[in-house]
Amino acid sequence: MKRAARAIAALLALGSCAKSDHKTHLYLQRFFGECGAQYGGSTDIAKAEGECGIITTLVNRFNAENPDVHVDVNVVAWPGYPQLTAQVAARDPPDLVTMHEGVISDYAMKGLLEPVDGYLKTAGVDAGDFTDASRAGVTINGHAYGLPWDTHGGLFHVNTALFAKAGLMRGGKPVLPNSADELIAQGRQFEQRTGKPYLIQSNVGDPAFAARNLYTYMMAQGAVLFPDAHHIRLNTQAGVEVANYFRRINAEHLGTQNMDTPAAIAAFINGEGGIYPTGTWMIGSFQQEATTPGRPLYNNYAVFPYPHLWGRWVEYVSGHSWVVPTHKRSPEQRAAIARFFKFMAAHNYDWARTGHIPAYKSVLADPRFLALPHRADIAPLADIGRPLPSYVQRQNAIEGIVGEEAAAAFTGQKPIERALADAERRVNDMLGQVE
């Protein structure tokens, strides 16, 4: 009995040591994948690659440079919000969370996130250095609800070998359209000279693709997508014009028809089309193909923001940010959060190596960033990028509905006016239930 009692006491002592290591602990919850086997002990940020490798190494480096603080990390499956919601409901949220900026309003408007203005001030992070896109993405009612981490959106990923064959290269760069009619003309020329589709499209099972196209080119025409927090407007002259345009692209077979995202990625990698409109997150993978001898994209890859086709040159974007769920915390924990913000802001260039656009003007102008492959070409996304209004909740769910109905309109599965009206009805019904 005495031996058993001593064993139990020893176990209790070990357990208490973890909490009495004289460090301030922060509980950080993130997505971006798990790669502890490769980067679990790494602190060399310059040698880290990819989203998971870079974020894992950054946190390791922060812990190493701040011996009185320890960030304990929980990696969740993307996007992680069901788990976060359960933790908030149990009144045991993390201290720091990676969050898409389109989701911030869902939590902030219910008082579930802290404004971070105080943390930014303590950290010496100048909000005036935020890009316009990143500032808009984290600001609600004049307060910042997150430390912006990046901006991401759609890009035109281009196969320059096929563009050369189509006669669409000038001075070593692709000639991209500057109007809706010019895109059609270039698409026809491309198909005639290469025998391949101008656009590779993920029309199947990828609502974000269709929603991104509809949002972007309605915004370009000055359309107000959300006149208030509970209504969306899509079935308008601008919405019908954009939907008709993408249906025309499909009717003329200027783009692939029945591909999901994996098929579209494979088609682009294998040189089966000229342009794949997809996100910033694919730059790393495509650049690796472009530097691998013998691959179809070898020395034949370029990438740019969506082209200007109507009205103003703007593009729908979102971004990642660091948020602080509302919770009772010690002064030491709050000071540690500010130190974490200062560290992450100082390392935004390292994160920009993933392909995402930096959240800070100073990083956009940094020669190190501009020297990275393609970054000077995609940097305008920080200026032309426009998130949805911060007062709109349920943005992820809305994107799913809008993308589903827009894809049906683009591919001819539904009459255009009916699809846009159905999208409006479904979104408005959902927003009508949001407090």
What pLDDT, in 10s, does the model give residues 305-320?
999 999 999 999 999 9
Q: What is the pLDDT of residue 49?
A: 93
Quick one: tokens of 60? 């390791």
Residues contacting 53, CB < 8 A, separation 6+: 35, 38, 39, 42
What 3-state class would DSSP assign to 236? coil
Q: What is the pLDDT of residue 19?
A: 55
Q: What is the CB neighbour count within 10 angstroms for residue 292?
A: 12
Alpha-carbon gap, residue 257 to 249, rounded angstroms: 10
- For every one of its 435 residues, what pLDDT tens digit does the chain have, with 9 covering 90 and above? 444 444 343 333 334 334 568 999 999 999 999 999 999 999 999 999 999 999 999 999 999 999 999 999 999 998 999 999 999 999 999 999 999 999 999 999 999 999 999 999 999 999 999 999 999 999 999 999 999 999 999 999 999 999 999 999 999 999 999 999 999 999 999 999 999 999 999 999 999 999 999 999 999 999 999 999 999 999 999 999 999 999 999 999 999 989 999 999 999 999 999 999 999 999 989 999 999 999 999 999 999 999 999 999 999 999 999 999 999 999 999 999 999 999 999 999 999 999 899 999 999 999 999 999 999 999 999 999 999 999 999 999 999 999 999 999 999 999 999 999 999 999 999 999 997
Q: Write the DSSP string, 353-418.
A: TTSPBPSBHHHHT-HHHHTSTTHHHHTTHHHHEEPPPTT---HHHHHHHHHHHHHHHHTTSS-HHH
Q: What is the pLDDT of residue 348?
A: 98
Quick one: tokens of 29? 């919850």
Strand pairing partners for 421? none
Alpha-carbon gap, residue 423 to 42, rounded angstroms: 47
Q: What is the pLDDT of residue 435?
A: 78
Q: Sign of the CA dihedral 180, 261, 357, 139?
A: positive
What 3-state class would DSSP assign to 271? coil
Side-chain half-sphere exposure of 81, counting CA atoms within 13 A: 16
Residues contacting 412, CB < 8 A, separation 6+: 247, 250, 251
Q: Write the DSSP string, 111-180.
A: T-B---HHHHHHHT--GGGB-HHHHHHHEETTEE-SEE--BEEEEEEEEHHHHHHTT-EETTEE---SSH
Rg of the Cα trace of the chain?
Answer: 24
Q: What is the pLDDT of residue 306?
A: 97
Alpha-carbon gap, residue 256 to 273, rounded angstroms: 8
Q: Which is nearest to 254 in space by CA: 186, 206, 308?
A: 186
Q: What is the pLDDT of residue 8?
A: 40
Backbone angles phi, psi at 29, to 5 degrees: -120, 130
Alpha-carbon gap, residue 68 to 45, rounded angstroms: 21
Q: What is the pLDDT of residue 224?
A: 97
The distance from CA 403 to its chain's CA centroid, rounded to whole angstroms, is 16
Amino acid at 270: N
Q: Residue 136 in contact with residue 382, Cβ under 8 Å?
A: no
Q: What is the DSSP letter of 292?
A: S
Q: What is the CB neighbour count within 10 angstroms for residue 71?
A: 22
Alpha-carbon gap, residue 217 to 214, rounded angstroms: 6
Q: Which is nearest to 61 in space by CA: 42, 82, 83?
A: 42
Alpha-carbon gap, residue 345 to 1, rounded angstroms: 55
Q: How many residues does the chain have?
A: 435
